[in-house]
A and B are shown apart, each in its own frame.
Chain A
Amino acid sequence: MCACLLILANKAYADDKDSLRELFYQGNIYYGENDLQEAIDSYNKALNCGYESSPLYYNLGNAYFKNGNLGKAIICYLRASRINPGDPDIKSNLAYARSLIQGGLISLKKPWFIRGFLRLTGMFSLNKITSISIFLYVLLCIVIIAGVYIKLCKKTFILLYVLISIMLATSLTIFAVKFKAQVTQKNAIVTKQETDAKFEPLDNATTFFTLYEGEKVQLVATNGEYLKIKRSDGKQGWVKKTDIELI
């Protein structure tokens, strides 16, 4: 019975993947014919199959970009980047899309070591750094067990313990940072061309600052139709739910 269920599940899994691929290629053809809305629909249908892939988000981002939806394009590039952060095409398109944000990017200058560390974390996806951490952890356990039984070469074992422990600590730190950025912390992108961040979650409240399409914000709290967001320079305000989209 379990085997039958497993086979059925596998079949459904394979069918969904085939549908995704079919819709992906369909989207590419529409894009090639400059029918951007149809391309966007195809890519979105592919994503509705319950599966995802970095090229799918990337192509959807391109279609949104060409269609003039800068905010949605940036969201898609960021989603693609989460799955495959090392892809140079994604980096390039994301950088170009960000360069078109009205008023430019607001960013605070960080110390060199933080910038270096962030660059290092940017090289790994969350799943990849999880795999690396698990591998290092199992390796450390094996080396400890081997060290207990093998009485010779104590110095070599100590060196191995230290080396693997440093690597494990680094990978766990990267994992923690990525986990926080991707799972714990809710980030969103402004999808409306221009939206006001207000002092209060009310329609007639005073505008504190203005956000432009494509800007990245951090979600802080919710109140009815309004979301409290934090901009990269630390300024907080209330914006309408419909004006931003979670990454």
Chain B
Amino acid sequence: MLTRTGNLGLKMKIKNNYFAKTILLVLCGIFLCTGLSFAKEISFEATVDKNVAQVGSGIEFSLVFTGMRDINVPTLPNIPNFKWRYIGPSTYMSMVNGKVERSVTHAYVIVPEKTGNLTIPSLSIEYNGKAYSSNPIQIRAVTSSSGQGQAQIGDNQAQQRSEKILDDKLFMTINLSKESAYVNEKIHATIKLYISNLSVRDIAFPLIENDAFLVDKFAQPRQYKEALNGVPYNVIDFSTDIYGIYTGQFKLKPTEVSCNVITRSRQNKKRGSSPFDDSFFGSNIFDNFFGQYEKYPVIVKSISVPITVIALPKDGKPQPFNGALGNFNFKLGISPKDVQVGDPITLTFTVTGTGNFNTVNPPSLKATEPFKTYEPEITQESRSKVFKQVVVPRNDKIKQIPPISFSFFNTNTHTYKTITTAAVPITVRPLEKGQELRVFEMSKDSTEKIKRVETFGKDIVYLKENPGIVCRKGALLCKNELLLLLILLPALAVILTIITQARKDYLAQDVRYARSLAAPRKAKHNLVNAHNLLNIKETAKFYDAVFKTLQEYIGDKFHLSTAGISSDVIEKLKKRGVDPSILDELKVCFDTCDRSRYAPSDVEEEEAKRVFKMLKNVISKMGKIKT
């Protein structure tokens, strides 16, 4: 069904490089975001299925509207030397590289009337204020041979035969509830469309045209199955009410229903016994039309029905009579019954029953009564009509709502009838001193709002046009293992941050601990420095480094001031219980350092190495002491 011509080569290239496609999509997105858009391809063209045809035979003529929406059925002008007939519309939709292209085709049958080279002229339409023209088409019309002429006659006979068969498969009946009715009396009309073994679409509501009758809106049609003479039919049941507006004898014109009969060309060819076989629909005109389907517009008509409309009798007509026809009941409701002068009272007149509710008018209080009256609010349903009328008492002498009458003509008993309500006592209190009479205006607060009752049709919403975001079937984010692993990372980062910061805070608070913790690291660094100096035989600097190392290490380890540390510190360390052997080595180190400062020539390289070894030993041993 879908074709991908034209852009196929481009598509293959794009497919070969998925990343290129991705880039293309991104670029498209950027174009869209920046408000740029490619021009919509709108075209209008005319096509025919063949350019050579016999006089009297049909040619399929199509008007193709691409990129246009809501195109009404174009009416062709008089084309010289051709007759034409409209067949029906078809919609074509295709998608190439994610771009949807729609076209609507309106198909016609044109028949050349004389031989020779004929031209279908260019046709013009206007769409969104812009004119579009189709291409002119040349047709060569030739004469038909006698044999073909006979075939044509045979076709016509077959067509008549098929139309007869069609009548059995698609027909309509109309049934009226009564043959004689009064003016404005409700006559229920039931129109049934019978369909058997046919695919029928685009069924319009029936059209009843008659100036002498008013036709109500059709109710939602019902669908059901019904057997007639043993043949099962699908029935579409339309019902409405009609009202005669003039007296006399009439014939209700045939009711018409327009629809399209759908046939499937391939299947029809297989089924030779189908009523829509080649002889009826399958002429060259319809072959391969729309690919698989053929749509044939049909108008189904009912027979005309006689009906008599008579006038209402003048005898016994009550006063007042406002023209109500039917069999009704009438009730009156009053609220509130205790009011002050100038306050509103709502009278609710409820008329229920059967008949023409359009003829039921509101009964009202007599004009002479001391009430101010307002226009009633009306609610009409299929079997009831409610009038809510606000009245305002003008003085406190009013003791009751007087009897109210409602008259109607009963179409069952053919007599007039009047229903009169009883007088309803009410209490009207006088105005208090200082108060002025205020005539109450109708507002939302004073009267109950009467909402319009509307019945809506129910059905499913139509298809989605695009497939939307496509994802792997059953792909759930919460089951993605990689994602579950990655989720742990932020939690780990939080834990590490908290631990690091807590340790930092603790060390900032406990300086002694922080110094003792840092002492080995600093000593290690200083020892490397001293070893380097020893290697390059910078003895003086080496001893300075050894002295500094000892100062910093002992100061940090025992939380002492680094600047004042010399050999005197040994006494302090002794008090802190440091092993005497360590202190002896420490003393040797300090002494050697002092000596090297004041008499550098006395210090030999071998001794320096021994001091370095001793220094390492001292730091190592002191490291094991707990402070």
Contacts and interface: CB of A to CB of B under 8 A. Distances in A.
Interface of A: 7, 10-11, 14-15, 17, 20-22, 24-26, 28-29, 31-34, 46-47, 50-56, 58-59, 62, 65-66, 83-84, 89, 92-93, 96-97, 99, 126-127, 130-131, 134, 137-138, 141-142, 144-145, 148-149, 175, 179, 183
Given A7-B18, A22-B2, A145-B497, A31 B463 contact: yes
Given A50-B473, A127-B476, A175-B478, A55 B493 contact: no
B427 to A, nearest CB: 43
A42 to B, nearest CB: 9
B449 interface: no
Interface stretch (B69-77, B90-98, B340-348, B394-402): B90-98
B273 interface: no
Interface stretch (B36-44, B319-327, B432-440, B454-462): B454-462
Given A25-B100, A144-B497, 15 more contacts: A7-B18, A11-B15, A17-B470, A20-B470, A24-B467, A28-B465, A51-B470, A51-B471, A54-B468, A55-B466, A92-B461, A126-B476, A131-B477, A145-B494, A148-B501
B477 A59 contact: no
B472 interface: yes
Contacts of B498: 144, 148
B131 interface: no
Contacts of B2: 22, 25-26, 29
Contacts of A59: 463-464
B467 A148 contact: no
Nearest to B491: A141
Contacts, number: 124
Contacts of A142: 490
Contact of B293 (A7, A33, A131, A141): A33
Contacts of B100: 25
A167 to B, nearest CB: 16
A22 B97 CA distance: 10
A25 B95 contact: yes
B10 interface: no
A52 B478 contact: no
Nearest to B90: A33
B487 interface: yes
Contacts of B493: 141, 145
Interface in B84-105: 91, 93-95, 98, 100
16 contacts: A20-B470, A22-B2, A22-B95, A25-B2, A28-B93, A29-B1, A31-B463, A51-B472, A51-B473, A55-B464, A56-B468, A84-B468, A92-B461, A141-B490, A142-B490, A148-B497
What are the 3 A-B residue pairs with the smallest beta carbon separation, nearest first? Answer: A55-B464, A141-B490, A130-B477
Contacts of A50: 472-473
A141 B492 CA distance: 9
Q: How many of chain B's residues touch chain A, expressed as a range?
A: 35 or more
B24 to A, nearest CB: 12
Contacts of B178: none
Contacts of B468: 53-56, 84
Given A14-B18, A96-B459, A126 B478 contact: yes
A96 B457 CA distance: 11
B473 A47 contact: yes
B95 A62 contact: no
B283 to A, nearest CB: 22
Nearest to A15: B15
A93 B467 contact: no
A55 B95 CA distance: 16
B371 to A, nearest CB: 47
